[in-house]
Structure 1
Amino acid sequence: MLTDQWYVRADVLAKPAVEAVENGDIQFVPKQYENMYFSWMRDIQDWCISRQLWWGHRIPAWYDNDGNVYVGRSEDEVRQENNLSADVALRQDEDVLDTWFSSALWTFSTLGWPEKHRCPASVPPDQRDGVRLRHHLLLDRPHDHDDHALHQR
């Protein structure tokens, strides 16, 4: 059965990440993995981030009975941002975020974001599959809000 899914448009995120490695803001150790990274990032496809599981971080989207979609941190925020009264029925999307997507949010969720947004780690160690699945996300947003590289190596 086909169902609606949520995707991240990856090509627009990959471009600045590739540039950050090309200009030396981010370095791979050992350097041989740089070519593998370029291969992945230059042929990147949109990423389905929704999963049909009963556990995980829920997709922050709500639907009304007319099929309109509202995205926000909470139902209260959605109502406030869109001037929706309490009598407008909303239901939250039942899907959850892909595990690798939500794990890439660790710098935000653990370090005081949005007030604090600097990542103290310059080297995120991981195994090979983690480099592809999770760290390409961290590198897809290669700079923090002050235009500093999140990770240098």
Structure 2
Amino acid sequence: MKNLVVYNHGKDSIPWGEKALALAEVAKGRGFAFVSPDYQASNDPDWRVEQLLALDLRGYERIMLAGSSMGAYVATVAAETIKPQGLFLIAPAFYLPGYARDRFAPGTENIEVFHGWQDDVVPPENAWRFCREHRARLHMLDADHRLLSILSQMAAAFDRLLRDLTR
């Protein structure tokens, strides 16, 4: 396959949780290969960025980086080097203590962000700040940090984003 989605799981999550499985099904339907690296060996976001950058991504025509929470941070920092065609970010862990970066240069203008109004891990205003700075599409919905209650809405938006990338 010439198209690839790399999904980056969150700090206390697993590579093939509910969000990864839902997005993988959408990606497959759009002709994208889908990988979800296992970052469980370390909760250091910058170590995770190094692991993502170490993947062999040569040979792909289109790359979409996706991630949830810490994984969204990892995808966004790595995007500066990878230059993907798009970013799909779920409750991104931006502007938090313990994260080395608070300034981003995502490497793409095609960015879609989902965040929950009830998120008690990453304040909703952090997503708004990032989206304002990078003119990203922001979906603020009545959900908590995991956003599982709106998984079908996220999957539909992901499908539209992949469709638009392949036009």
Q: TM-score when scaled to structure 2?
A: 0.27
Q: TM-score when scaled to structure 1?
A: 0.29
When Rg is computed on C-alpha atoms for both structures, the one with the higher figure is: 1
Higher relative contact order (CA 8 A, sep 6+): 1
More strand by share: 2
